[in-house]
Amino acid sequence: MSDVLVVGGGFAGVWSALGAARVLRGRRSVTLVAPGDDLVIRPRLYQANPQDMRVPLDRVLAPVGVRRVPATVTGVDVRRRRVTATGRDGAALDLPFQRLVLAAGSEVVRSEVPGAEHLHDVDTLESATALDRHLHALPAGPGRFTAVVVGAGFTGVEIATELVGRLREIAGPQAERVRVVLVERADVVGPELGPGPRPVIEAALDDLGVELRLGTSLESVAPDAVHLSDGSELPARTAVWTAGVRANPLTTCVPGPRDRLGRLETDEFLQVTGVSGVYAAGDTAAAPVDSEHVALPSCQHALPLGRFAGHNVAADLLGLEKVPFRPDPYVTCLDLGGAGAVFTTGWERTVRSSGEAAKERKRKVNEDWIYPPLDDPAEILRRADHRVSTRRS
């Protein structure tokens, strides 16, 4: 039996396990179960060479005594305190626990339009790598260097602006043929991002030559064309879907209220509402940040959610005082490809910087701040402290 069992090998899962290990200090066991061997740096999957965006889990977990089980979780029974899973050899596993942290992440909501099998996404390492390979093997013909991105939210804007540079590099002397079209069913870019950063985003799209199709949705996809709801047909060899996300289906195994994304509602200590001994972190948790806001499904909240959940699940086990979830003040740093980035503060997303100044901050986020330390037990445990700022750790 594991004293603390963590489901999920993403940012929230890893930091939950580390946070628990920091409090328990070897007095009780911590186990993390996840199908892969790596922590995937998911916020970077819109970039080129996504196959490199990962960190070996054993170099983060093993130094502080966290046991790792490479398996795919198939069910959670909170009444019997057991998790079922399938090992890599196909064997059925039964994993009992005293306390559980569900940090299984989220997944893109798949499109069901005709030809959806031709859509790419950047939701997982495998799918982002498949897109990268596709871009480097584009066949000759109409629409060879045309990409249509569906969904102008955070991910859609980042992949659309990044694809301009990626395709131009691939196209070489034919770079003038590169065309990126961003499709959004709402009548504005980034509807969930609000009006604050919108002028900067629109200026960046215009500067890069990204075409906007607002108030429009995807109708169907073929290997060489995309059909939109306005009746247009776009010759295109690449179509990328970014429209919508939902919590991992494992959340349905846990009784309790959920939000519209399927995330489990938690109390301020990240314990699932009405379920003793079960905590949620990352994209599976609809956790209160303050009296008006809940955590967003983002890396920015996944890291502190993991640290706090790990601390509290271990404190619960030992009968210690738990601490309410209090992340750093909310900010947004949106990559805009060759046009730089835009950095905002507050839930209203007030623009503080843009262009190269914001881009430099985005580089620090992507290439430094979100990476865990490796092979160094003291530094790993220091960074696992919930009091350590994500942006200054």
Helix 125-135 with 154-171: angle, nearest 10 deg:
30
325 φ, ψ (degrees, to nearest 5): -65, 120
Mean pLDDT (the chain, rounded): 97
Helices vs. strands in the chain: H and E counts, helices first? 8, 22
Euclidean distance between CA atoms 291 and 247, whole angstroms? 23
Q: What pLDDT, on the 0 to 100 scale, is given for residue 282?
A: 98
Q: pTM, whole model, 2 decimals?
A: 0.96
pLDDT, residue 391, reads: 65
Indicate the length of the chain as a whole number.
393
pLDDT bracket for residue 215 (50, 70, 90): very high
pLDDT in tens, 233-292: 999 999 999 999 999 999 999 998 999 999 999 999 999 999 999 999 999 999 999 999
Contact at 8 Å (CB) between 161 and 336? yes
What is residue 157's predicted lDDT score, i.e. its pLDDT?
Answer: 98
Label the pairing between strands 225-228 and 82-87: unpaired
Tell me the pLDDT band of 217, cut-offs 50, 70 and 90: very high
As a whole number, mean pLDDT of residues 177-197 equals 96
DSSP calls for 177-193: G-EEEEEESSSSSSGGG
Residues 339 and 320: beta-carbon distance below 8 Å: no
The span from the CA of 341 to the CA of 350, in Å, is 14
Tell whether the model's pLDDT for residue 393 goes beyond 90.
Answer: no
Residue carrying the six token digits 């079209």: 181
Helix axes 11-24, 299-318, angle to 10 degrees: 30
| pLDDT for the residue 286 | 98
Give residue-wise pLDDT tens across range 319-371: 999 999 999 999 999 999 999 999 999 999 999 999 999 999 999 999 999 99
